[in-house]
Amino acid sequence: MKEGQTKPPEKRRKKRLESHRLAAFLFLSPALVFFAIFFVFPLVATVYLSGREWDLLGPALEAPGVGFRHYVEIWQDDRFVKALINTFLYVLACIAFMPPLALGVAWMLNEVKVVPWFWRLLFFLPVVTSSVAMSLVWQYIFDPTYGPLNEALKALGLRPLGWIMDPDLSLVSLIIVSLWQGIGYHAIIYLAGLQGIPDDYYEAATIDGAGAVRKFFHITLPLLKPTSLFVFVMVAINAFQAFTPFYVITNGGPIDSSNVLGLYIYKTAFDFLNMGKASAMAVVLFVLVVLVSVFQLRWFRRREEF
């Protein structure tokens, strides 16, 4: 440093820039090294494997190449098509129900003045508890013979249902579990958004004679748009990757009625040891996630112009 002070300013600046570049590189290097090994390499390798026939046991590099065969064959696999349809239904249901329910809960949490911390706690509990543990509990709740849900239906004079044992209802059951688990998290995000809206807006609207409904649609909803965008995108990305409740509660059954892509990829890879086919399905899943995310971004942006 002392040496630098005697040099002309031009050189000093250059030296400093040089040292900055080095510092930036050093600070970034751990992240970059891990990114290269644990993100970039696997991503490329999955695409590579999707064109190979590999059973995990033999050397991966010598696995015979099959070109695009896996990408063609998966569409002839009824189980894959079924899983794809189920994934779409599941994602759609999550997008359709999660944000409005979360916003409703957030609104109530924002308005209530009696023990607000208690209500917040209640809705947030499922978010921080073990998914496996709660999946086991839900499995019991949905049990058609011994579970409390059917008992409650009977008490209300309704017909008991098959829930997780019924091919028509297994996916619905899992959607219920996912909503139960996710609402609190997204409600907290909406709550932060609601608290960020200045009170003046509402007061001005009240003076202008706007009712509660108009205030909601003309002030609250538009001002929450950035929050909503985040919630919608996250809900979709997470729904595409749902795994734990599906694995624990139904394991895709009965007869694949609740099989989703994530679960089927896992089974194809680690139960059937068909790494090539699993990789091809993973690539398809990736493309879907990107497409849906881009679509959502566009949709929100277009609505901005109104």
Partner 1 sequence: MKKGSRYAKQAALCVLLGFFGFLMAFPFIWMLLSSLKSPEEIIAVPIVWIPEEPRWENYLNIWSVLPLGRLYMNSIITTVLITFGILVTSSMAGFALAKYRFRGRETLFVLMLSTMMIPFFVLFIPLFFLVKEFGWTNSYAGLIVPNIVTAFGIFLMRQFCSGIPDELLQAARIDGASEGRIYLQIILPLQKQALAALGIFAFVYHWDSFLWPLVVITEGSMNTLPLGLNSLRNAYSSQANMNMLMTGSALAVIPSLIVFVALQKYFVKGITMTA
Question: Does 156 sit near partner 1 (CB under 8 A)?
Answer: no
User: At 245, phi and psi to the nearest 5?
Assistant: -60, -35
Q: Which of 7, 13, 14, 56 binds partner 1 (CB under 8 A)?
A: 56
Question: Does 184 sit near partner 1 (CB under 8 A)?
Answer: yes
Q: How many Cβ atoms are within 10 Å of 48's Cβ, its own excluded?
A: 16
Which of these ranges, 89-97, 121-129, 167-175, 215-223, lies near partner 1 under the rule CB under 8 A?
A: 121-129
Question: In terms of CB distance, is 161 or 289 closer to partner 1?
Answer: 289
CB of 95 to partner 1, least distance (A): 16
| The one-letter amino acid at 149 | L
Question: Does 290 sit near partner 1 (CB under 8 A)?
Answer: yes
Question: Does 95 sit near partner 1 (CB under 8 A)?
Answer: no
Question: How many helices and strands, by DSSP H and E, does the chain display?
Answer: 16, 0
CA distance 130 to 264: 23
Which of these ranges, 7-15, 76-84, 214-222, 272-280, lies near partner 1 under the rule CB under 8 A?
A: 272-280
CB of 279 to partner 1, least distance (A): 6
Q: Which candidate, 151, 247, 171, places its Cα nearest to that of 161?
A: 151
Question: Does 151 sit near partner 1 (CB under 8 A)?
Answer: yes
Cα–Cα distances in angstroms (integers) from residue 183 to residues 105, 176, 188, 197, in the given order: 8, 11, 9, 21
Question: Does 167 sit near partner 1 (CB under 8 A)?
Answer: no
CB of 230 to partner 1, least distance (A): 6
User: At 49, phi and psi to the nearest 5?
Assistant: -65, -30
Max CA separation in the chain (angstroms) = 92
Specify whether the CB–CB gap between 163 and 149 falls below 8 A: yes
Q: How many Cβ atoms are within 10 Å of 98's Cβ, its own excluded?
A: 25
Question: Does 49 sit near partner 1 (CB under 8 A)?
Answer: yes
CB of 109 to partner 1, least distance (A): 8
Question: In terms of CB distance, is 207 or 305 closer to partner 1?
Answer: 207
254 secondary structure, DSSP code? S
Site for partner 1 in 16-45 (CB under 8 A): 16, 19-21, 23-25, 27-28, 30-32, 34-35, 37-39, 41-43, 45
CB burial of residue 111 (10 Å; 0-12, 13-18, 19+): exposed
Owner of token pair 């849900």: 149
Question: Does 102 sit near partner 1 (CB under 8 A)?
Answer: no
Question: Does 225 sit near partner 1 (CB under 8 A)?
Answer: no
Site for partner 1 in 237-266 (CB under 8 A): 237, 240-241, 243-244, 247-248, 261-262, 265-266
CA distance 77 to 75: 5
Which of these ranges, 63-71, 79-87, 128-136, 161-169, lies near partner 1 under the rule CB under 8 A?
A: 128-136
